[in-house]
């Protein structure tokens, strides 16, 4: 019993430290290698499938509690939910997310190849496949994907243009689990001994040496891939202004704040120097049809006087449905993008009957949006094709993928004020960096309270505004054209690799089962 409690404590500690230290704002990209090596060792030593599943669940629960428990901020501080109930809801959310690591742990413990290299391959495949499922099932939640920790300077950031974020996840977890090859103690049952070797954590025999050489070779090749230019400049350099209004979320939707917000953005648009001026998500906090027409005409007039175009975040209404949208105004014809991937519990309310207790304690303004069409043309202004994502759409590679290869600039308009001064805004920025790396495109971010930033095609933040400040970020940027292997192939290659790993694990298990049941001749 004592050994179980120690293992659970180690799993929880490894999970929480991995999430807290690996991702922004701390961003120790090497931390996942240690955290997942610990988890792999715990699963390798698990005597039963149930124990492996439990290790995965506890690791995952601690991982998500440390990484995304900030969801309670929007429920409590801005949704009016009592604090204890908000924390309880956040706990349930993290417990649900932990089911995916539990599945990965259960499968790896069930398969448990005796060969350490096969074990590492199966574990990396199971974790990555579970992460892929988490990103897609029930509309998906791709936050804290392990591969994102590598953006922009991690050892496997360079693999993202080829295999995407799940490819980066796979190789990080694979290398972490491969550390067990040079730590044979991890495969011995709990309580077993090996004479004269108990004090040794690592055994540097030929197998261990070859493993380290292969790992270093993989990392070297990855860095070489990351140095390649997968896109080339398109069009002339463009002067761009990104506006950060810093409108407090507690006041954003209040009627008495409405006129003040309109004046704020009219002033910022007037001060902006760019040919393309981008405002945040729902910068105009009312449906377009309810905003005074003369105000819209004034904005259009300001843009025309600058020979510029505006991208404005504003809800739009059509046939009784509301859409979270971005519209263009200015010297070119008005165009529109409507958000496709809505935030559950924030922009629409699923399972109303089952979660009646939850909704009875939650008040979120503008929480009944409709989803835009999955296939929409990019907004084309200033000689560039803008791949626009709204809010956490840029957290999903597949949502940005559909804008490629036509998009020459990626644009995200968002409002991270929902999560206060938590790590959410920095984590969101890091997700944008990963999207830039995957598709070799610059990413422009206009965020209400921050972080408004410019990201180059290698995922590096070149300019940013401090969060919770009002300001205008002026930059000059050139669009880019071209396709990365990932924009051409999507997730199919890494899925096939993972399925191969799962198949190897199943074959290993079945072969052991057949060996046990075979009768002697």
Catalytic positions: 281, 339, 391
Dist CA 66 CA 97 (whole Å): 12
Closest listed residue to residue 86, CA positions, set 418, 366, 348: 418
Dist CA 416 CA 422 (whole Å): 10
Closest listed residue to residue 149, CA positions, set 419, 400, 459: 459
**Do 155 and 169 form a contact (C-beta atoms < 8 A)?**
no
| Six token digits for residue 325 | 């949208």
Residue reference for tokens 């005796």? 114
Dist CA 246 CA 264 (whole Å): 10
Dist CA 317 CA 315 (whole Å): 7
* DSSP string for 71-111: HHHIIIIIT---HHHHHHHHHHHHHHHTHHHHHHHHHHHHH
For 491, other C-beta atoms within 10 Å of its C-beta total 21
What radius of gyration, in Å, describes the C-alpha atoms of the chain?
A: 25
Dist CA 387 CA 377 (whole Å): 9
Dist CA 510 CA 515 (whole Å): 9
b/e sequence 300-324, b meaning 16+ C-beta within 10 Å? bebbeebebbbbbbbbbeeeeebbb
Which distant-in-sequence residues (6+ apart) come within 8 Å of 129 by Cβ? 104, 495, 498, 499, 502
Dist CA 347 CA 349 (whole Å): 7
Residue 314 in 3-state DSSP? strand
Burial of 42 (0-12, 13-18, 19+ CB in 10 A): buried
Dist CA 38 CA 35 (whole Å): 5
What interhelical angle do 49-68 and 83-97 show, nearest 10? 130
Dist CA 190 CA 174 (whole Å): 23
Dist CA 277 CA 41 (whole Å): 52
């Amino acid at each position: 019993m004592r050994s179980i409690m120690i293992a659970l404590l180690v799993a929880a500690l490894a999970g929480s430290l991995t999430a807290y230290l690996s991702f922004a704002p701390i961003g120790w990209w090497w931390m996942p290698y240690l955290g997942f090596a610990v988890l792999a060792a715990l699963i390798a030593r698990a005597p039963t499938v149930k124990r492996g599943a439990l290790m995965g669940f506890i690791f995952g629960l601690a991982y998500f509690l440390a990484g995304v428990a900030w969801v309670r901020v929007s429920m409590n501080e801005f949704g009016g939910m009592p604090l204890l109930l908000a924390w309880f809801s956040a706990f349930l959310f993290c417990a649900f997310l932990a089911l995916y690591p539990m599945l990965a742990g259960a499968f790896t413990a069930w398969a448990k190849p005796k060969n350490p290299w096969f074990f590492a391959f199966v574990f990396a495949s199971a974790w990555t496949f579970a992460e892929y499922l988490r990103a897609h099932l029930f509309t998906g939640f791709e936050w804290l994907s392990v591969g994102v920790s590598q953006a922009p300077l991690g050892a496997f950031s360079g693999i993202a243009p080829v295999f995407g974020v799940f490819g980066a996840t796979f190789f990080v977890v694979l290398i972490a689990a491969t550390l067990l090859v040079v730590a044979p103690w991890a495969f011995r049952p709990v309580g077993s001994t090996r004479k004269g070797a108990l004090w040794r954590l690592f055994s540097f025999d030929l197998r261990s040496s070859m493993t380290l050489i292969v790992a270093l070779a993989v990392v070297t090749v990855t860095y070489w891939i990351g140095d390649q230019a997968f896109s080339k400049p398109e069009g002339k350099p463009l002067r761009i202004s990104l506006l950060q209004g810093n409108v407090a979320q507690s006041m954003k939707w209040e009627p008495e704040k409405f006129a003040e917000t309109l004046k704020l953005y009219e002033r910022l648009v007037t001060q902006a120097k760019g040919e393309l001026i981008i405002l945040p998500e729902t910068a105009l906090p009312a449906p377009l049809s309810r905003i005074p027409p003369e105000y819209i005409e004034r904005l259009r007039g300001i843009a025309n006087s600058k020979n510029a175009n505006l991208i404005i975040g504003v809800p739009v209404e059509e046939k009784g449905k509301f859409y979270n949208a971005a519209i263009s105004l200015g010297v070119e014809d008005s165009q529109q993008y409507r958000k496709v991937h809505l935030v559950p519990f924030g922009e629409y309310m699923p399972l109303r009957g089952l979660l009646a207790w939850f909704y009875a304690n939650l008040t979120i303004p503008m929480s009944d949006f409709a989803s835009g069409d999955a296939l929409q043309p990019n907004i084309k202004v200033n000689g560039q094709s803008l791949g626009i994502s709204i809010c956490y759409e840029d957290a999903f590679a597949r949502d940005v993928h559909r804008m490629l290869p036509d998009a020459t600039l990626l644009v995200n308009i968002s409002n991270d004020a929902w999560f206060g001064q938590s790590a959410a805004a920095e984590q969101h920025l890091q997700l944008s960096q990963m999207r830039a790396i995957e598709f070799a495109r610059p990413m422009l971010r206009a965020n209400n309270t921050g972080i408004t930033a410019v990201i180059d095609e290698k995922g590096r933040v070149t300019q940013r505004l401090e969060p919770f400040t009002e300001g205008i970020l002026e930059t000059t940027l050139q669009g880019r054209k071209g396709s990365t292997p990932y924009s051409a192939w999507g997730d199919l290659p890494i899925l096939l690799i993972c399925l191969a790993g799962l198949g190897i694990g199943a074959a290993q298990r079945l072969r052991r089962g057949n060996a046990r049941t075979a009768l002697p001749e």
